[in-house]
């Protein structure tokens, strides 16, 4: 168990040992809520992490924007 202090701006420093154990990186975002009088932090994945690998690229296209639009449309049709 660790003891931390809240500063004047309401910030809490998470000890390095805890950040390392949970793989928390600088500027990572969290959802915060109160559950049964406890503060709960849930790490959010970046958009890039969430969609990484959704489309397999065999060969990079000439027009990346066009490729992305087509890939999203294909994914949307297949997810219905």
Query: Torsion over CA of 33, 39, 43 and 44, rounded to 10 degrees?
Result: 10
Distances (CA, A) of 16 to 6, 21, 25, 46: 16, 8, 10, 21
| Residue 60 scores a pLDDT above 80 | no
- Range 67-75 average pLDDT: 89
| 1: its two tokens | 């168990």
Phi–psi pair at 76, nearest 5 degrees: -60, -45
> How far, in whole angstroms, is CA 68 from its chain's centroid?
21
Q: What would the pLDDT profile of 6-47 be if each residue is shown by its tens digit?
A: 999 999 999 999 999 999 989 888 999 999 999 999 988 777
């Amino acid at each position: 168990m660790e003891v931390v202090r809240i500063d004047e701006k309401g910030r809490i420093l998470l000890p390095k040992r805890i950040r390392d154990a949970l793989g928390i990186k600088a500027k990572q975002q969290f959802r915060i809520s109160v559950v049964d009088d406890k503060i709960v932090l849930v790490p959010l994945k970046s958009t890039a992490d969430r969609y990484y690998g959704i489309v397999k690229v065999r060969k990079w296209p000439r027009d990346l924007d066009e490729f992305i639009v087509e890939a999203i449309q294909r994914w949307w049709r297949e997810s219905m």
